[in-house]
Amino acid sequence: MNNRRNWLKQISLGTIGLGIIPFETFANSSAEEYLLPDFDKSPILLRSNENPYGPSPLARTAMAKSITISNRYGWKFSSELISMLAKKNKVSDDNILLGAGSTEILDLVLQYTALNKGNFILAETTYNYWTAPSERLGLKKITVPLTKDKKHDLPAMLEAIDSDTKMIYICNPNNPTGTICEREKLVPFINEATKKAIVFVDEAYIDFTKEQSLSNLVIDNKNLIITKTFSKMYGMAGARVGYAVAHSATINELNSVKSSPDSSISVVSTAGALASLHDENFIKQVYTDNEEVKKYTIEKLTQLNLTCIPSHSNFVYFSLNNYKKDYFKQLEDHNIMGTKIYEENGKWTRITIGTMKEMQQFIEAIK
């Protein structure tokens, strides 16, 4: 793997120096032919846990500048991003695998897992859009109910493991409930479960907590895979940048079912990710703003007699059991896009934390 990355780096260094032909040479079409959406009339988007503030100022500048070299493959930048992520996670370059969002990593792990068939285990309710294609690949789904306080039932998940179990999925913090598995409980679970199967921990929302990442555990554990993303805290959901942190042998195994490792992220997105890692002030501000607006939202929902689950993320899970109006009609009438009912028992739904202005409009809409 190191040899491949070194070779790609050498190739990219050569291509970067070839120069760029000015765009004006080819620009014969009128810009008026290409109509962008009217963003001023777009709805308030509170459905997909996107960061309403990003990308960061540094990332926007870097992405704009990188457009001029988008005619070149971005191997050099991928290698640089891998090194920065390895340093951030206190692992080596060989412990990092890039993907177009953490969803690509998850799909890749499932393709690898499906080579030997069997089953996979996940909570009910959790992030589960990936389960249908997994079943198409021949894997059997086993769900384990959450606890009464909407947390992963780790003992029950351990009990569910059998000789055919190939993977256990943990979303931490959990989407859509916003609950968290504390490290002192999760580490013993991982130590036991990885004796029998891969444990896949999705840390898409870990940056919204003070919880320590589990990435340091992969150095000695071949059956633990951590995924992270730039989609949430870094505000780059549309840019599609994610990565896995795993044992070097596991990274090599995953690469064996991928045609071109670390090459699915565009030059523009990679430039944005690199710049984002340098913009610590932006990250601190996003964290602070999210906490403030989340507190406001929960207080207002509680005043409306709606039960909320304590959230360790950038969204809130709450019950519509006591809501007398048509909640989704209220959102539609006020040009707000929410999500769905995740649990009929209790009519539990989720709302993304937007800006303070957006959440004030949301609260007004459902009063």
pLDDT in tens, the chain (367 residues): 554 444 344 434 333 333 344 444 344 444 455 555 565 568 999 999 999 998 999 999 999 999 999 999 888 899 999 999 999 999 999 999 999 988 899 989 888 888 888 788 888 888 877 778 888 888 899 999 999 999 999 999 999 999 999 999 999 999 999 999 999 999 999 999 999 999 999 999 999 999 999 999 999 999 999 999 999 999 999 999 999 999 999 999 999 888 787 788 999 999 999 999 999 999 999 999 999 999 999 999 999 999 999 999 999 999 999 999 999 999 999 999 999 999 999 999 999 999 999 999 999 999 9
CA distances from 117 to 44, 134, 139, 222, 352 (A): 42, 10, 6, 19, 36
102 and 91 co-located in one domain: yes
In a domain, 10, yes or no: no
150 and 90 co-located in one domain: yes
In a domain, 56, yes or no: no
In a domain, 105, yes or no: yes
In a domain, 176, yes or no: yes
Token pair for 72: 């070149």
Q: Which of 273, 284, 188 is nearest to 238 (CA)?
A: 273
Chain centroid offset of residue 167 CA: 19
Among candidate residues 278, 304, 319, the one where a domain is terminated: 278
In total, the chain counts a number of residues equal to 367
pTM of the model: 0.86
Strands of the sheet with 224-229, listed across from one edge:
96-99, 242-246, 224-229, 198-202, 165-171, 118-124, 139-145
pLDDT score of 136: 85
Phi, psi of 250 (to 5 degrees): -70, -40
β 96-99/242-246 pair status: antiparallel
Long-range contact list for 330-334, CB < 8 A, 24+ apart?
330/365, 330/366, 331/362, 331/365, 331/366, 333/365, 334/44, 334/361, 334/364, 334/365
pLDDT score of 307: 98
Give, as one character, the DSSP assignment of residue 48.
S
Give, as one character, the DSSP assignment of residue 54.
-
Domains identified in the chain, total number: 2
In a domain, 324, yes or no: yes
CATH number at residue 327: 3.90.1150.10
pLDDT score of 15: 37
Q: Rounded to whole angstroms, how far apart are CA atoms 219 and 222?
A: 8
CA distances from 267 to 3, 264, 286 (A): 22, 10, 25
195 and 237 co-located in one domain: yes
In a domain, 329, yes or no: yes
HSE of 168 in the Cβ direction (CA atoms, 13 Å)?
A: 30
260 and 297 co-located in one domain: no
Structural domain containing residue 303: 281-366
Strands of the sheet with 315-319, listed across from one edge:
308-309, 315-319, 348-352, 341-343
In a domain, 98, yes or no: yes
CATH number at residue 102: 3.40.640.10
246 and 351 co-located in one domain: no
Give, as one character, the DSSP assignment of residue 342.
E
256 and 285 co-located in one domain: no
pLDDT score of 184: 95
Q: Which of 50, 106, 104, 47 is nearest to 342 (CA)?
A: 47
Token pair for 350: 């989720």
In a domain, 17, yes or no: no
Amino acid at 42: S
pLDDT score of 118: 79
Among candidate residues 258, 278, 298, the one where a domain is terminated: 278
pLDDT score of 130: 78
260 and 342 co-located in one domain: no
Among candidate residues 238, 257, 278, the one where a domain is terminated: 278
Token pair for 331: 């959102």
118 and 155 co-located in one domain: yes
Token pair for 293: 């607006």
Query: Are 238 and 208 spatial neighbours (Cβ–Cβ below 8 Å)?
Result: no
286 and 273 co-located in one domain: no
Query: Are 181 and 169 spatial neighbours (Cβ–Cβ below 8 Å)?
Result: no
Query: Are 185 and 172 spatial neighbours (Cβ–Cβ below 8 Å)?
Result: no
Give, as one character, the DSSP assignment of residue 169.
E
CA distances from 65 to 56, 86, 195 (A): 14, 25, 47
pLDDT score of 38: 60
134 and 222 co-located in one domain: yes
What residues contact residue 17 under an 8 Å CB cut-off, 6+ apart?
none
253 and 306 co-located in one domain: no
338 and 246 co-located in one domain: no
